[in-house]
Chain A
């Protein structure tokens, strides 16, 4: 993926670009708002990572201008501000996701991955999701694995749906909290792990190949056995 990083702090910019290159991406780095805007308008990037506070033109103005120019490049806004209002403002300005500093690099990777693949899946039309031998019927709201129906609670169905819309991709705990519960905060106790382990009991227990995997230090991933994994 070709990514544009707009970040005034050189240390952070270097750390971001190093990390993203390490993960196999190509990175352009800008340090000011106008520079970033020019780069975003001329280049063709798969996604933009932009700091909210930038000298001479703040990140949200850049995003607003970009959107006014009709560019739909996914934008992830980074910010040291975590207030709910700021988050709302960031998304309202045209940002696609909002990440508060300090963040785990794995969180950034997972979110960028989710952003860039958002449109490509073509899943909005699908009435059923399939990963390996697990099928989720979105109309009947049922899950079957290898032909055997798995009884799910409504919330478990939602979690599973969230995973199956992103097969082969890392899903972090905060992504689940935001996407499934609509919570923008981290609960004191790690409740997500407990939910996942219960879900795992239902969909993986008694089957030869597990579908729901733990990605150490990052989160979880739903993945079909290697042979069938197209991602």
Chain B
């Protein structure tokens, strides 16, 4: 094919070519097998019959000479003879000595197997029929021809070939048409995805790759691309949120510090007065720095890769240590801390995991009611061979619809949970869980929150 290179590179054309070639290959193979199993078998049988016949006749010649042979041929061609066989015996001069064929077929002087037309008279009708024959050279220049009417076989073969040609032509047509159609369909979907991609690249992040709803590979591809886009959009909106939150949470104390320092300068604050202003300024700046440090911790946990500081850890030990760290806080608030831990081996960065667990306990203690408060810290292996640490409180909990977003940065459920804290605690926990290939699960403790870090098997 001498298609222009550009056209050849398009999916539909290539698809059609491949499909057509495949169709032809399969059909050609199938037809060939049928041919070999039918027409070719009959041909071989004919040949074998002729061969046997010629052998029998030549034996007669050897046994009883020309006379016997002529007799045998006449017996086979006489009026009572059955079959459509054709016989001819010619002398060295080429004249007919016996047989039902008028003359040796022209142009077939030698050669073992020949094929020629014969005109057959049946009363007034005469039909031309095709004969297949074998020839045999007898001693003293005599030649023998034994043939068989193979017109029917010939017709069958001709029809077969004609049918095969039609089938192949049809296959080519179907292959080309369906190939182009299918290819265009594929191309259309790829183009739709490419177009969506271009739109998204241009900044339209809400765009998604359309799904055909058939659940095929293209849908799966589109689905995973869309999932990726969801994540990117989530990250982007998270970042936007974080930017807003930073400008609020960090700017608020900084603005206050600035104003206080400015006022102190204006009134030329001295001594005790200046001390108060400066101490307060330090506190405000520390608060702002703490938020920044938390954000950095989260960003690092989110972008880190497993490092060489990872080692085998036991979530039970980590949970017990963290619970112990918070024990006086719990006691001061009148909250009972219940420990239920068993060895829960995992692998990870001990400091980060400890920080995550500490954040969970910190949260639980913040939200458990001061009277009758109860925080349960559990650590145990999971069914899949991983490890899990869980902190449950009996506070107000998190409404089901808010659980998906509560771990995002700066999300504070002000109404439900009192609005204390930086709104970064759970973000860090989730980032640490993800870093370790695990996840953070937030469940209903009825009442309260049950937060669980699931780590994968070592």
Min Cβ gap A203→B in Å is 15
Closest A residue to B366 by beta carbon equals A189
Min Cβ gap B249→A in Å is 14
Verify if A24 is at the interface (C-beta below 8 Å from B): no
Min Cβ gap A12→B in Å is 15
CB pairs A–B below 8 angstroms (22 shown): A82-B296, A83-B304, A83-B307, A84-B307, A84-B351, A88-B308, A102-B289, A183-B354, A183-B358, A184-B351, A185-B354, A186-B290, A187-B359, A187-B362, A188-B362, A189-B326, A189-B365, A191-B328, A194-B328, A194-B329, A195-B328, A198-B328
Min Cβ gap A2→B in Å is 29
Q: Is the CB of A185 within 8 A of B279?
A: no
Q: How far is the CA of A131 from the CA of B352 in the complex (A)?
A: 36
Q: Is the CB of A187 within 8 A of B325?
A: yes
Q: Is the CB of B325 within 8 A of A188?
A: no
Q: How far is the CA of A85 from the CA of B300 in the complex (A)?
A: 11
Contact of B359 among A102, A188, A197 (CB under 8 A): A188
Q: Is the CB of B421 within 8 A of A194?
A: no
Q: Is the CB of B329 within 8 A of A84?
A: no
Verify if A67 is at the interface (C-beta below 8 Å from B): no
Residues 304-344 of B at the A interface (beta carbon under 8 Å)? 304, 307-309, 321, 324-326, 328-329, 332
Verify if A15 is at the interface (C-beta below 8 Å from B): no
Q: How far is the CA of A39 from the CA of B57 in the complex (A)?
A: 123
Min Cβ gap A176→B in Å is 11
Q: Is the CB of B297 within 8 A of A185?
A: yes
Residues 264-292 of B at the A interface (beta carbon under 8 Å)? 279, 282, 286, 289-290
Q: How far is the CA of A102 from the CA of B290 in the complex (A)?
A: 10
Known: A185-B351, A195-B328. A217 touches B282 (CB 8 A): yes
Q: Is the CB of A187 within 8 A of B358?
A: yes
Contact of A188 among B286, B309, B321, B422 (CB under 8 A): B422
A189 surroundings in chain B (CB, below 8 A): 326, 329, 362, 365-366
Min Cβ gap B84→A in Å is 97
Verify if A216 is at the interface (C-beta below 8 Å from B): yes
Min Cβ gap A174→B in Å is 11
B296 surroundings in chain A (CB, below 8 A): 82
